Amino acid sequence: MTEKIEEKLFRIGHSPDPDDAFMFFAMAHGQVKIPGYRIDHVMEDIQSLNKRAFEGDLEMTAISAHAYPAVAHKYGILHCGASMGRGYGPIVISKTYNPAISGLEALKGKRIAVPGEWTTAFLLLNLALGDYRPVQADFAAIMGMVERGEVDAGLFDP
């Protein structure tokens, strides 16, 4: 008679973004296993994962560089993976203003949809622009908000 050993749950949080999908593909498809553990993938937007990290809710999670210092006592940084680099990162989208032509100055005081106050995109926009009216929104809703004119611009992190 073979005794079944109960596996512990190991939850890994990551966003459905292509870069996270690439980083976690092998685990998601059973090509990487942790003996004695069952891996459960938690896919949520990065702001939701940041909030979960503040609670220490997941065993491993993607997190914004902006939020990491607040949870460094709970989580370590892996030696692989990261979604940062030159020429890569958040962009400001707008139907009315073209930051590439007029610069970010044209957006001072304007309503800009942002994907969360603990996202690195939010930190970078604050550093680059500073004076604007952030409108907290789910990442997936930002493009639609801009299209419908509900905000002057949106902070989008492709």
Q: What is the pLDDT of residue 3?
A: 63
Burial 47-67 (b: 16+ CB within 10 A, else e): bbbbebbeeeebbbbbbbebb
Q: What is the pLDDT of residue 83?
A: 66
pLDDT in tens, 96-113: 888 677 788 889 999 999
Q: What is the pLDDT of residue 99?
A: 67
Write out residues in the chain with pLDDT < 50, as ranges: none
Q: What is the pLDDT of residue 15?
A: 85
Whether the CB-CB separation of 73 and 141 falls below 8 Å is answered with no
Q: What is the pLDDT of residue 137?
A: 93
Cα separation, 112 vs 28, in Å, equals 35
- Closest Cα partner for 18 from 43, 40, 38? 43
Q: What is the pLDDT of residue 135?
A: 97
Which residues on neighbouring strands pair with residue 14, listed in sequence order? 43
Q: What is the pLDDT of residue 54?
A: 96
Q: What is the pLDDT of residue 82?
A: 65
Q: For the chain, list the strands marked E by DSSP.
A: 8-14, 37-43, 60-61, 91-93, 111-114, 133-136, 153-156
Q: What is the pLDDT of residue 1?
A: 56
